[in-house]
């Protein structure tokens, strides 16, 4: 029974002493409280800033990954287009070579025909040339 009131009176005395110190030094106490509040606010702001930085970093990494995917797809499409272009160019070159050979063969055939006609009947050849081109043959 005597222990309980002793604790209570001891706590009351300590509280009174603390209250008296705070009351006598209220400016310093207020400054310390303001500093503690400011430090707490700064730590909270710093944590928020760190969280925002991390969110932005993750977002940028996601954007970079998306752009890389788009770039890879464009490269693949470019390669497909280049392959199609090369195939088409090869076809055109083969057709050109084939047509060139045909033209050479036709020209050689016509040359032989006109040479034979010139040897056999030069006058008829001259008339054909006059009719075809519209000018007069002079000997």
Query: Domain locations in the chain?
Result: 3-133
**pTM of the predicted structure, to 2 decimals:** 0.49
The alpha carbon of 58 is separated from its chain's Cα centroid by a whole number of angstroms, namely 18
7 versus 127: the higher-pLDDT residue is 127
Distances (CA, A) of 102 to 63, 88, 105, 113, 114: 58, 21, 5, 16, 18
Does the pLDDT value for residue 74 go beyond 90? Answer: yes
Tokens at 6, concatenated:
């002793």
For 82-123, the pLDDT digits (tens) are 999 999 999 999 999 999 999 999 999 988 988 888 788 878
> Token pair 């303001």 is at which residue?
34
Closest among 18, 36, 37, 15 to 26, alpha carbons compared:
18
**CA–CA–CA angle 48, 49, 54 (5° rounding):** 100
Proportion of the chain above pLDDT 90, given as a percent: 64
């Amino acid at each position: 029974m005597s222990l309980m009131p002793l604790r209570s009176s001891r706590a009351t005395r300590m509280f009174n002493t603390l209250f008296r110190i705070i009351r006598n030094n209220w400016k310093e106490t207020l400054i310390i409280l303001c500093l503690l509040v400011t430090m707490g606010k700064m730590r909270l702001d710093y944590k928020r800033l760190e969280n925002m930085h991390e969110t932005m970093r993750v977002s940028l990494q996601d954007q970079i990954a998306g752009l890389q995917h788009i770039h890879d797809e464009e490269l693949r499409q470019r390669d497909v287009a280049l392959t199609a272009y090369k195939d088409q160019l090869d076809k055109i070159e083969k057709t050109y070579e084939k047509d060139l050979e045909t033209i050479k063969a036709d020209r050689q055939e016509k040359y032989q025909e006109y040479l034979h006609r010139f040897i056999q009947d030069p006058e008829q050849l001259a008339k054909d040339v006059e009719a075809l081109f519209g000018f007069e043959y002079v000997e």
